[in-house]
Amino acid sequence: MLRLPGILCIALLAFGVSVCAQDGRELTEEARKQYAADLKEASALVKARKFAEAQTKLDALLVQRPREPQARFLLGVAATEEGKTDAAIAIFRGLIEDYPELPEPYNNLAVLYAQRGEYESARVALETATRTAPDWAVARENLGDVYVRLAAAQYDRAAKLDRDNKTAPAKLALARELLLPGTAAKPKP
């Protein structure tokens, strides 16, 4: 099962994204603190599943700083949690376009692709995430899950193409056991 990292553990600004107002001016220390507090509040609202309130807060933040990655990322997380997959995909793609060095949008995009069964697209996104952040365990684990799903599809196809093949069904059962523990050994009804 692919997983998203916790909302609060994401620190996109650690990647050196500057803190500037919409017109490009550097924000004052007080404005930065207020922005950070508002962003923290928006994150708490998303975590509490108060999406309408979070959206209002994030929209206000994005008026101040339209390209700010953390507010955009939270907007994508909120859209994901609300089941607005197309909107979330658009948000994460936009973040990737503007900030290709950030691994989190690739991971979240991959999770959405995988939920749709688009495993090849998920693989590409996760391979990019792991190149961007080689030591990030969440992306590595998700990539492994995608590889297993891709392998399972190929074993299934091989078994259907050659009914006498004894190894493909056994490998398919192992792949399914990895994906859904306890299911491979269960007999079919």
Tell me which architecture the domain covering 7-179 has in CATH: Alpha Horseshoe (1.25)
Query: Average pLDDT by consecutive 10-residue portion of the chain (189 residues)?
Result: 52 42 63 90 95 94 90 95 96 97 96 96 97 96 95 95 94 90 45
Question: Tokens 């609202």 — which residue?
Answer: 45
User: pLDDT tens digit string along 79-123?
Assistant: 999 999 999 999 999 999 999 999 999 999 999 999 999 999 999
